A and B are shown apart, each in its own frame.
Chain A
Amino acid sequence: GKNEYDLLVIGGGSGGLACAKEAARFGRKVAVLDYVEPSPQGTKWGLGGTCVNVGCIPKKLMHQAALLGSAVKDAQHYGWNIAQPVHHTWSVMAQAVQNYVKSLNWGHRVQLQDKKVKYFNMKGRFSDPHTIHGLTKAGKETVVTAENIVIATGGRPKYPTHIAGALEYGITSDDLFWLKESPGKTLTPFVFNVSLECAGFLTGIGLDTTVMMRSIPLRGFDQQMASLVTEHMESYGTKFLKRCFPTKVEKLESNRLQVTWLNTDLGTEETDSFDTVMWAIGRDPDTETLNLETVGVKTNSETGKIIVDASEATSVPHIYAVGDITEGRPELTPTAIAAGKLLAQRLFGQSSELMDYDNVPTTVFTPLEYGCVGLSEEAAVQCYGSDNIEVYHAYYKPLEFTVAERDATQCYMKMVCLREREQRILGLHFIGPNAGEVTQGFALGIKCGATYPQLLKTIGIHPTCAEEITKLHITKRSGLDATVTGC
């Protein structure tokens, strides 16, 4: 018989909703399934996916809260008289952030309704390539059939289940943003951008925060930039336990947590107590309960992510996947949204445009932000050889830091270019305030194949931090001092 829907999307996050809404634009019959399995600590949330509820949005808002703490300090240098003490109340911030997120959940519900997309708050699993069994919280089952199915279930934070006490006593980013009470003295072991960003804003709002890293920070990112970012955090007040990894977590009588870890440098076991331990060791794709094996959707044996081709198609016809769940794609909201939209356009809108995953810009919202697009220096060297690339770089000082007497030691930028005549730009890296705003426009330029000479021809806007990018001229090769001096 006929399938009930033209398109069924499993997962109401960035990718899923974008795809569903785009398909609805073509007059198609679309349904979205979204369900949030509560975290081990019991946290759950509404429609919108990771980004809206436990990702980008609350993260940036709490990052902003921390930045405003710095602004309060700066303001005094600029003549604002503020009586001490100044302190931060977690619950005021958390409630404001949570209220905003809830308004977004509501907004998404309304949008789906407006676009006549059917919404099911159910957990879905495949029974055949066109049939999904959905289960509500109450246990009621509904069967839905669709011509095309898009899997966009995203990922959830991993727990280091091999560490005693990790699951029972630790939280993850899924819980942090929904805490009603301050997390207090916090430890975040392992170091992906999530943990650095969280550690950053927790420090910024005045909490005693420690980051524990086994090896390198921000794996996959340019390592020189990664160390500048962590260096800044250290001078900002975040504590770092380097080359350590936790071995067990126990609960004390006071309800605090005792963490034991191995210091691989000294070969000794150390211990300390914390109020909160937040794991940020990576995310697992949410595919376990989908029943993918039944329909034969292939996943990567190591990561568990769904394997897709350039058109987001899985190994099964009419079944697609977008977003964090797909193998080899950046785990970013804008790429999921773009991929979801383009997929809908190809399925229903006679388009043939594929998603371009090259030169996707991103920003790490640590206290001193890091924006980048294109290749890291290491990747460029690996790809082209160090003789064939030129790296232009500069240490600069944002004007606003002068009067505020802020340390700009880690404010740094570099541009990795091909050395041959045209000098095409391969990668751009910027650490400083508003890094996202700075990087976005240049990402466009790189998409247009920008070359170093073209950049030099661009006149700067004065006074900004971004203008320093158009003035880059000292190469790493020259060994000259790369500090920007005056106008």
Chain B
Amino acid sequence: AHKEDNPQKLLDMNRHTPVPHSYDYDLIVIGGGSGGLAAAKEAAKYEKKVMVLDFVTPTPLGNSWGLGGTCVNVGCIPKKLMHQGALLGQALQDSRKFGWQFTEEVKHNWMTMTESVQNYIGSLNWGYRVALREKKITFENAYGEFVGPHTIKATNKRGVEKLYTAERFLIATGERPRYLGIPGDKEYCISSDDLFSLPYCPGKTLVVGASYVALECAGFLAGLGLDVTVMVRSILLRGFDQDIANKIGEYMQEHGVSFIREFVPIKVEQIEEGTPGRLKVTAKSTKGNQIIEGEYNTVLLAIGRDACTRKIGLDKVGVKINEKTGKIPVNDEEQTNVPYIYAVGDILQDTLELTPLAIQAGRLLVQRLYAGSTSKCDYVNVPTTVFTPLEYGACGYSEEAAVEKFGEENIEVYHSHFWPLEWTVPSRDNNKCYAKIICNIQDNERVIGFHVLGPNAGEITQGFAAAIKCGLTKEQLDSTIGIHPVCAEV
């Protein structure tokens, strides 16, 4: 961190035209999520005057949450904790084979889990409020929208409006779940925005969608003992390696999740009110005229997320967005077409929607703006993990993408099924865990894709991602000794 006593000089250094106006703030961040908070905290390090605006428009069912964004409140954090709850259910079964004895009947209490998870999230919300205060970042729980050059209007819960000006703006408003646009969707269906704080057990659930959100939620709900069905329009995990996506689906099916493929809901009606109530779902085949009906306690929509960019006044300042997707195109320095307005996180066009990426991009952006850095965020070979019951970690190209980019004859795929040692004694599946690496033959067999399906996939994949960043080749992989006995040595 460099403490510059001449801001003018700093601006010159960064090749920005010095501005004669005196603004309320150096930087206003719209959106207090992963990207926004990271950027704000970084800017405060360089003694900039920063404001963060964060506001959660309640869900159709009236649900809302505190500071921290999607990840903390309705994303990664509660998802992983509930996934852990489901894994522990499996661990209870395994433990009997390892000699642990307790009553046959073991039931799960949704409220106990949800309360613990929400308490933890509350502590994170609180932690962020404190951190912003300590770093002297002004925080307003208000909805921000542009009203003119360098000016935004902040409207709080009670409708009180205030105007603020800033030299620069960072849009980090993220996304919200999409609805189907069918009768009954907003009245009776829930989304991931509601699931993690649902004040009653969801019961028999229909999950609509085949995104990682859909599969992760369906996965842990089933793991907690609920009757779960997933309705899929076409393929699973679009954009991910399809070979692995199918293995994930197969595994879930073998472990109690029902799939209805090639159908879409056309109507949701309420049969009975309650917590949960009873809902009737009517669905139509994508391949013909067949209509089916089903009864569920809960319908969870997970068909995708829409960027929160349509109602923040971007037209007033001329920021271009992709009209179809709502996403904002930026250059490789996260700058929009308006030079003093930047964007990071899920709202960016053509990037992976991941917390660590948003954080990294936000931090590096601020370092470039205020600390004379030239480092740009590296969007290549970003690792990710899908926390389905059988976890999937990946970094780099999927097999299809590699074939398309390099040609089938120029890539080599090495693969292996493996049986985690911990699964042997409890007699769990011996041919489901799987790992594959994709190498570019023409580039010294450089590893361009890494995929692992098995327990702790995230922990395994992280290190490999670092190695891939170092230009890992197959030869180096072969010559590295494995740690025994772990899954990662495979």
Q: Which A positions have Cβ atoms within 8 angstroms of B? A: 51, 56-57, 60-61, 64-65, 68-69, 71-72, 74-75, 77-94, 96-97, 100, 205, 332-335, 338, 356, 359-363, 371, 399-400, 402-403, 434, 436-445, 447-451, 454-455, 457-467, 469-470, 485-487
Query: Considering the complex of A and B, which 5 residue pairs feature the smallest CB-CB distances, nearest first?
Result: A441-B463, A93-B99, A79-B113, A466-B462, A440-B488
Q: How long is the Cα–Cα vector from A361 to B483 in the complex, in angstroms? A: 6
Tell me, in angstroms, the Cα distance from A74 to B100 when the chains sit together.
14
CA distance in complex: A58, B106 (Å): 28
Asked if A463 and B76 sit within 8 Å, CB to CB, the answer is: yes
Interface centre among B107, B109, B459, B464 (most CB of A within 10 A): B459
Partner of A463, one of B77, B393, B488: B77
- Whether, in the assembled complex, B484 has its beta carbon less than 8 Å from a beta carbon of chain A, the answer is yes
Query: B458, A57: Cβ atoms under 8 Å?
Result: no
22 contacts between A and B (CB under 8 A): A75-B85, A78-B84, A80-B107, A90-B99, A91-B99, A205-B99, A338-B481, A361-B480, A361-B481, A362-B483, A440-B463, A440-B483, A442-B462, A442-B467, A443-B463, A447-B479, A461-B384, A466-B463, A467-B458, A469-B463, A487-B72, A487-B359
B356 close to A461 (CB less than 8 A)? yes
A399 → B minimal CB distance (Å): 6
Given contacts A80-B108, A88-B99, contact A461 B456 (CB under 8 A): no
For A450, give its contact among B99, B101, B470 (CB under 8 Å).
B470
CB-based nearest A residue for B120: A402
Say yes or no: is B338 at the interface (Cβ < 8 Å to chain A).
no
Bound Cα distance from A28 to B100, whole angstroms: 48
A424 vs chain B, min Cβ distance (A)? 11
For B71, the closest partner residue in chain A by CB is A487
- Residues 436-490 of B at the A interface (beta carbon under 8 Å): 456, 458-467, 469-472, 476-477, 479-489
Give which listed residue, B92, B127, B393, B472, contacts A82 with CB less than 8 A.
Answer: B92
Asked if B458 and A466 make an inter-chain contact with CB atoms under 8 angstroms apart, the answer reads yes
Q: Is the interface of B mostly helix, strand, loop or mixed?
A: helix
A461 in contact with B99 given A56-B485, A361-B483, A485-B131 (CB within 8 Å): no
A356 to B487, CA, bound (A): 22
Pairwise interchain contact A88-B356, C-beta atoms closer than 8 A:
no
Q: Decide yes or no whether B124 CB sits under 8 A from chain A.
A: yes
> In the complex, what residues of B have CB within 8 A of residue A445's CB?
463, 466-467, 469-470, 472
> Least Cβ distance of A339 to chain B in Å?
10
Of B77, B102, B114, the contact of A72 (CB 8 Å cutoff): B102
B476 & A51 in contact (Cβ 8 Å cutoff): no
B461: chain A residues at CB < 8 Å are: 441, 461, 466
A399 CA to B127 CA in the complex, in Å?
15
The prevalent SS among residues of A at the interface is helix
Kindly state whether residue B89 has any CB partner on chain A within 8 Å: yes
CB distance B462 to A441 under 8 Å? yes
Assess the A459–B484 pair: CB atoms within 8 A.
no
**What is the minimal beta-carbon distance from A201 to any residue of chain B, in angstroms?**
10
Q: B89 — which chain A residues lie within 8 A by C-beta?
A: 75, 80
For residue B388, CB closer than 8 A to chain A, the reply is no
Highest count of chain B CB atoms <10 Å: which of A92, A459, A485: A459
B91 proximal to A (CB < 8 A): yes
Given A61-B425, A75-B92, A89:B101 Cβ within 8 A: yes
Q: Is the CB of A57 within 8 A of B485?
A: yes
Max chain B C-beta neighbours (<10 A), residue from A74, A97, A441:
A441
Check B289 for interface membership: any CB of A closer than 8 A. no
Quick one: which of A64, A335, A447, A487 has the most chain B CB within 10 A? A487
Give the distance in Å from the alpha carbon of A75 to the alpha carbon of B91 in the complex: 9
A96–B100 Cα distance when bound, in Å, is: 12
Q: How many residue pairs, one in A and one in B, have C-beta atoms under 8 Å apart? A: 296
A411 to B214, CA, bound (A): 32
Q: Please, which residues of chain A bring their CB within 8 A of the CB of B110?
A: 79
- Closest approach, in angstroms, between the C-beta of B259 and any C-beta of chain A? 26
**Complex Cα–Cα for A455 and B378 (A):** 12
A455 to B384, CA, bound (A): 16
**Complex CA–CA separation, A72 to B100 (angstroms):** 9
Q: In the bound complex, how far is the Cα of B311 from the Cα of A200, in angstroms?
A: 57
The answer to whether A459 and B378 touch (CB under 8 A), given A75-B91, A438-B462, is yes
A486 touches B91 (CB 8 A): no
Expressed in whole angstroms, the minimum distance between the Cβ of A12 and any Cβ of chain B is 17
Once the chains bind, are B487 and A100 in contact (CB under 8 Å)? no
B357 within 8 A of A: yes
In the complex, A403 Cα to B92 Cα: how many Å? 17
With an 8 A cutoff between CB atoms, is B81 at the interface? yes
**How far does the Cβ of B394 sit from chain A's closest Cβ, in whole Å?**
10
Residue contact B103 to A82, C-beta cutoff 8 Å = yes
A399 touches B422 (CB 8 A): no
CB contact between A64 and one of B98, B102, B112, B114 (< 8 Å): that residue = B98
- Alpha-carbon gap, A363 to B481, bound state (A): 12
Nearest to A432 among chain B residues (CB) is B459
Candidate in A86, A363, A436, A469 with the most chain B CB atoms within 10 angstroms? A436
Q: In the assembly, what is the distance between CA of A397 and CA of B469, in Å? A: 26
Q: Report chain B residues within 8 Å CB of A77.
A: 112, 116
A322 to B116, CA, bound (A): 52
Q: B114 contacts which chain A residues (CB < 8 A)?
A: 79
Contact assessment for B92 and A444 in the assembled complex, using a CB-CB cutoff below 8 Å: no
- Interchain CB contact under 8 A, B424 and A100: yes
Report B175 CB to chain A, min CB distance, Å. Answer: 16
Q: Judge whether A403 and B84 touch: CB under 8 Å.
A: yes
Given the complex of chains A and B, what is the CA–CA distance between A88 and B98 in angstroms? 8
Q: A56-B485, A436-B483 are in contact. List 12 more A-B contacts (CB 8 A).
A: A68-B91, A68-B98, A75-B85, A97-B425, A363-B483, A403-B116, A439-B463, A440-B460, A440-B483, A442-B462, A461-B383, A464-B459
Tell me whether A450 and B488 are in contact in the complex, defined as CB-CB below 8 angstroms, given that A61-B422, A205-B99 are known contacts: no
B211 contacts the other chain (CB 8 A): no
Contacts of B483 in A (CB 8 A): 334, 361-363, 371, 436, 439-440, 443
Shortest Cβ gap from B161 to chain A (Å):
30
Which chain A residue shows the least CB distance to B357?
A: A459
Answer whether residue B68 sits at the interface, using C-beta atoms and an 8 A cutoff.
yes
Q: Please, which residues of chain A bring their CB within 8 A of the CB of B34?
A: 487
Interface centre among B421, B458, B463, B482 (most CB of A within 10 A): B463
**Known pairs A78-B84, A82-B103, A436-B486; A441 contacts B471 (CB<8 A):** no
Q: Judge whether B109 and A81 touch: CB under 8 Å.
A: yes
A86 and B477 CA atoms in complex are apart in Å by 44
Pairwise interchain contact B425-A100, C-beta atoms closer than 8 A: yes
Contact flag A459-B128 (CB < 8 Å), given A79-B113, A437-B486: no
B267 to chain A, nearest CB (A): 33
The complex places the Cα of A60 from the Cα of B124 at a distance, in Å, of: 35
Q: State whether A402 touches B81 (Cβ < 8 A).
A: yes
Q: Is the CB of A464 within 8 A of B385?
A: yes
Chain B positions within 8 Å of A57 at CB level: 421, 485
In the assembly, what is the distance between CA of A399 and CA of B124, in Å? 12
- Say which residue of B422, B462, B489 sits within 8 Å of A461 (CB atoms): B462
User: Are B124 and A74 neighbours in the complex by a CB distance under 8 Å?
Assistant: no
